[in-house]
Amino acid sequence: MAVAHKIRTKTGKTRKVSLTPLSAIRAFCLECVCWSRGEVKKCTDPLCPLYPFRSGKNPSRAGIGGKIKGNLS
Ligand code: SF4
């Protein structure tokens, strides 16, 4: 269920991407921390509604589709 959309980039330009809900959250988180991937992982705001999904994975689906539950890295 991806949709084409235009997003901001680190350089201040825009680019067209194909977004799923999870990849949109991931893109939002990257923008939130000035595009530093490590900072998304180290996010210190667990009360943010996007926090559980910031890695680009849905934690409620861990273990579904052959993935090992708890392995979110
Ligand atoms: S989860 Fe953290 S990085 Fe993502 S939008 Fe919220 S505060 Fe920003």
Does residue 33 line the site of ligand 1, with CB under 6 A? yes
- What is the distance in A from the centroid of ligand 1 to the CA of 17? 20
Contact 43, 51 (CB under 8 A): yes
Contact 25, 56 (CB under 8 A): yes
| Tens digit of each residue's pLDDT (9 = 90 or more) over 7-25 | 999 999 999 999 999 999 9
pLDDT-above-90 percentage for the chain: 73
pTM of the model: 0.83
Does residue 37 line the site of ligand 1, with CB under 6 A? no
Q: Is the pLDDT higher at 63 or at 9?
A: 9
Atom nearest to 51 CA in ligand 1? 1
Domain positions in the chain: 3-53
The answer on pLDDT for 63 being more than 70 is: yes
CA 70 to chain centre: 17
